[in-house]
Structure 1
Amino acid sequence: MTEQNQLSAATLARLGKDVQRPAYDRNQMNTGIVHLGIGAFHRAHQAVYTDAVLASGDNRWGILGVSLRSADTRDALQPQDGLYTVAVRDGSGDRFSVIGSITSVLVAPENPQAVLSAMVEPSVKIISLTVTEKGYCYAPATASLDESHPDIVHDLAHPAAPRSAIGFIVEALARRRENGTEPFTLLSCDNLPANGETLKRVVLRFAELRDPDLATFIRESVAFPSTMVDRIVPATTDTDRTIVERATGLRDAWPIMTEPFTQWVVEDHFPSGRPAWEKVGVTFVEDVDAFELMKLRLLNGSHSTLAYLGYLAGHETVSDVMQAEGFSAFIEAMMDEEITPTLPPLSGFDLSSYKAQLRERFRNPALRHRTWQIAMDGSQKLPQRLLNTIRKRIEQGKPFKRLALGVAGWMRYATGTDERGQPIDVRDPLANDFRERTHGKTSAADLLDAYLGMQQIFGKDLADNDEFRRAVGGALEQLLRDGAAVTVAKAGRD
């Protein structure tokens, strides 16, 4: 790659005429947000909304990104002066924009003190997070802090040199309190039920273990607004990079490919101030819970179900899965008959149109969203995406055979061997535990017992529930006997 054809501040003028670019002076940007977890989703979603705010003339809200693990994003964006391309793709074509809201990227393991110093700056009013479910160091079944998590154990012993997002947050708040600097607002943008409350719970518990007075300060002084975020963002491939370079005329090391649809619903509680996101499409509400539950159960629950069963059936992308026999009918019936009755009412919201729109989004052939990518970290996702919906169905005394098949699909996938006997690269914090528990087990009954012994996923209530055991065990037995394609095709005709 040469400097002449690489995206950067110096080469912006060489972009193709149809490519949108930052409509503001980036040299005048101040850092008002530190974002933990500077991955693809943030750069396709919150950073895009904030870019629009900066374009409106409010230069206070530049974003300093923090990678808590890998240097990949920093290494890609630093030579590009933080610039990157967002390609919005659907059947009608592609539209390209260069986003400039990222001021810089830090890699926490390389220099935790630089991250803490940035978080303590008085200009920083918001710490936002997209660290995925596992980044909260919590037990999914209880949504409470996992006090045995290695990073939590480390951070309690070495609070000034944290590793976890929670450790960084609490140490930064301790330093701001000591300095007399107003605390920031903590803004979770991850797919967690009541994500603000979940973040508050784990932060307060960590702070209590460290210093009860600090926990009291945080409880009384720090806001944790909940949010609902929605945009499908596949992992970027080399093919995507080539598409972007041909369209824009410049090489981008890490562009973002996404869909036209984007939604952000936020509880409006920002004592220290916030960007005027409402002027660029964000919906502010008093209570985000109903929106969040709708999205977690309908979009995320359906997405995970399609990913596990679709992967097992041999399909690479979600759009491929939706074209296969029975899958579209199966997911429509799951949405209508099993998920929708568990949702609270949303006054004035057209739920039928929302579900139809979801299925069209799943069918978008331009995205190439891989089933394997969606299948990652299933142990962290399953409780809020499928298991809590099943709990509600059990409470209602209603069947949940399609939801049970989604759970069984995860169990079959997590064994690490596909239906052709080939290994599956299972990416999950508990992958070693899966292997140990399922080794040598081939029957549905034995596999079911192995998985349900993991109470950090299923809790004691589902593990002891005969109806849950029968439904999931029967679905798992059918998957092992007939395979995912045949099982779903049959279910889709029911």
Structure 2
Amino acid sequence: MNRLSPETLLQLPESVDKPAYERNCVPIRIVHLGAGAFFRSHLAVYTDEVMKKGDTQWGIMGVSLRSPGIDRALTPQNGLYSVLELAAEQSRLRVVGSVVEVVSLPDEPDRVLRTLTQPQIAIVSMTLTDKGYGYDACEDCLKTNDPDIARDLQNPRHPRSAIGVLAWAVAQRKRLGYKPFTLMSCDNIPANGKVLQRVLEQYIQEVQDSLGDKELLRYFLDQYACPCTLVDRLTPPVQGKDIDWVEQTLGVHDAAPVVTEPYSLFVMQDWFSNDRPAWETVGAVATAHVSSYEKLRYRLLDASYLAIGYLGYFEGFATLYQAHQNPVIRQFVAELMDDAAATLGKRPEYDWRVFKEEWVRRFDNPELRVGTAQLRIETSHILIYAIVPAVAERLRHGLSIDRHAKVLALWIRWLMRASEAGAEPLDDLRAGLLLERVNAAGGAHADPYAVVDNILSFEALFGARLSKDAEFKRAVTAALQQSMVAS
């Protein structure tokens, strides 16, 4: 079977959406670090849509930071790949053309560094995952003991970490007199632009003398924009049946298809130090402040994910879709969203009800391959943004916290089960600390009052004031007791 390529692109069925612009003339103006499936289902698609509308000056170089697999798959295809949107009514297949080059940083570091110092580069975007930033969230600082960061701090002129590469590029562009590019994080991290700016600030401060420029930090802080973004699109692993479906539909082989959902969200802080694509013309939201959208997403969507994850677990549902079809869980999630919405305040920039409707439709997509187990990963980190602020706000206004308390109670009950010998390990960075507190209260057979007190007194999660709030403890304890009686 022939392979997807510029030559076979013209032979694809008319039902397949594909780039009609001339890709041979597209310049690279965006470098994206972390060319994985999420990037290719999200930012590359938004950019492709802009280019289809006529602004074809936004070719992307995708940089693989670890595995060389993706560049080896996409280079023979000249960057072309397909995106399969799974939906209940009718799945949709498209070919994306915005990625014009794909390289591996470990294999071709000099090529990546050369491209970053080309004058036409306007944006360096990235999906590094939490670890890729070398960021210590507890201390709000750069992890100087991170192996990759530590190596680059010792040898900043030959960097291999993403942060080291960016700092080197900033120094070289300053030396060459080139206009700064925008540094745009597209990771699912609260205030991601501020995190990126923070770690780069501390890294540059450490290496600017070694790079021969004592004014580099001041220049970076004055000239380089690091906008915050809010991004969302579920991208499950590709399965064999997906590959078969793509090949049957295209009539050619695609070595790197992406599977995703119809839903997509892209909110960006409109703070750029160079040109940018008009992403807002193809569905993105440009705003002065992303934080209000973050609050909406965490308190409504992420809190719902936690609720479905734990309600689904105790009711025996394996997937998000299955759990949400249960009438009791569906009603609970809808009411939890309403409770959370009451803590948002007046937000003229959006209607939260529209987002709620979109997210409910998302949950009702039977093709969406999301397990309830996935929804419980890193719960202690998520509840800091999704549950705790909403609880504090509702308590402050004398409102009921029963639904939020139930989510926390089910989480605690799950921790109690996880404390048993032979239980599946917790996928949570605070697993050891949490289980220590559960075991101190009696483990799987802990007294509800004792275990709730031990968990809610964890000030790193709940804060000093909420950890001591009597009504908060009463509501969670009552919910835990009710859950244990019902089981």
TM-score when scaled to structure 2?
A: 0.84
8 Å Cα contact 2:79-2:99 kept in structure 1:
yes
Q: Which amino acid aligns with 1:385?
A: A
Matches within 5 A, 1:337-376: 337=339, 339-347=340-348, 349-376=350-377
SS in structure 2 of the partner of residue 342 of structure 1? coil
Q: 1:249 to 1:426 in 2, by over 3 A?
A: farther
Structure 2 equivalent of residue 39 of structure 1: 36
| Alpha-carbon offset, residue 298 of structure 1 | 1.4
8 Å Cα contact 1:236-1:254 kept in structure 2:
no
- C-alpha distance in structure 2 between counterparts of 1:328 and 1:153, whole Å: 48
Structure 2 equivalent of residue 183 of structure 1: 180
Structure 2 equivalent of residue 249 of structure 1: 251
Residue 67 (structure 1) aligned with residue 69 (structure 2)? no
Residue 94 (structure 1) aligned with residue 69 (structure 2)? no
Structure 1 vs Structure 2 CA RMSD: 3.5
Q: Which amino acid aligns with 1:261?
A: Y
Residue 402 (structure 1) aligned with residue 399 (structure 2)? no
8 Å Cα contact 1:234-1:369 kept in structure 2:
yes
- C-alpha distance in structure 2 between counterparts of 1:135 and 1:390, whole Å: 31
Structure 1 equivalent of residue 238 of structure 2: 236
Higher relative contact order (CA 8 A, sep 6+): 1
Matches within 5 A, 1:78-477: 78-140=75-137, 144-162=141-159, 164-211=161-208, 213-311=215-313, 313-337=315-339, 339-347=340-348, 349-396=350-397, 398-410=399-411, 417=418, 424=424, 426-428=426-428, 441-442=443-444, 443=446, 471-472=475-476
8 Å Cα contact 2:453-2:473 kept in structure 1:
no
Q: 1:307 to 1:107 in 2, by over 3 A?
A: farther
| Alpha-carbon offset, residue 92 of structure 1 | 1.8
- C-alpha distance in structure 2 between counterparts of 1:448 and 1:8, whole Å: 58
Q: Which amino acid aligns with 1:372?
A: A
SS in structure 2 of the partner of residue 371 of structure 1? coil
Q: Which amino acid aligns with 2:32?
A: H
| Alpha-carbon offset, residue 102 of structure 1 | 1.3
Q: 1:150 to 1:343 in 2, by over 3 A?
A: farther
TM-score when scaled to structure 1?
A: 0.83
Q: 1:254 to 1:305 in 2, by over 3 A?
A: farther
- C-alpha distance in structure 1 between counterparts of 2:194 and 2:345, whole Å: 19
> Could you report, residue by residue, the CA deviation over 1:37-71 in whole angstroms, capped at 9, with x for unpaired residues?
22222212211111122223333211112233333
Q: Which amino acid aligns with 1:279?
A: T
8 Å Cα contact 1:141-1:455 kept in structure 2:
no
- C-alpha distance in structure 1 between counterparts of 2:399 and 2:159, whole Å: 46
8 Å Cα contact 2:419-2:443 kept in structure 1:
no
Q: Which amino acid aligns with 2:342?
A: P
SS in structure 1 of the partner of residue 30 of structure 2? strand
8 Å Cα contact 1:126-1:274 kept in structure 2:
yes
Q: 1:460 to 1:135 in 2, by over 3 A?
A: farther
- C-alpha distance in structure 1 between counterparts of 2:394 and 2:207, whole Å: 39
8 Å Cα contact 1:162-1:168 kept in structure 2:
yes
8 Å Cα contact 2:180-2:273 kept in structure 1:
no
- C-alpha distance in structure 2 between counterparts of 1:156 and 1:303, whole Å: 39
Structure with greater Cα Rg:
2
- C-alpha distance in structure 2 between counterparts of 1:115 and 1:348, whole Å: 39
| Alpha-carbon offset, residue 220 of structure 1 | 0.5
SS in structure 1 of the partner of residue 184 of structure 2? strand
Structure 2 equivalent of residue 490 of structure 1: none
Q: 1:402 to 1:56 in 2, by over 3 A?
A: same
8 Å Cα contact 1:20-1:96 kept in structure 2:
yes
Q: 1:298 to 1:7 in 2, by over 3 A?
A: same
- C-alpha distance in structure 1 between counterparts of 2:461 and 2:108, whole Å: 34
Identity level (%): 38
- C-alpha distance in structure 1 between counterparts of 2:7 and 2:457, whole Å: 57
> Could you report, residue by residue, the CA deviation over 1:402-445 in whole angstroms, capped at 9, with x for unpaired residues?
334434555666789599x9754655556677678878943367
- C-alpha distance in structure 1 between counterparts of 2:466 and 2:132, whole Å: 25
| Alpha-carbon offset, residue 10 of structure 1 | 3.6
Q: Which amino acid aligns with 1:182?
A: K
- C-alpha distance in structure 2 between counterparts of 1:259 and 1:35, whole Å: 22
SS in structure 1 of the partner of residue 342 of structure 2? helix
Q: Which amino acid aligns with 2:123?
A: I
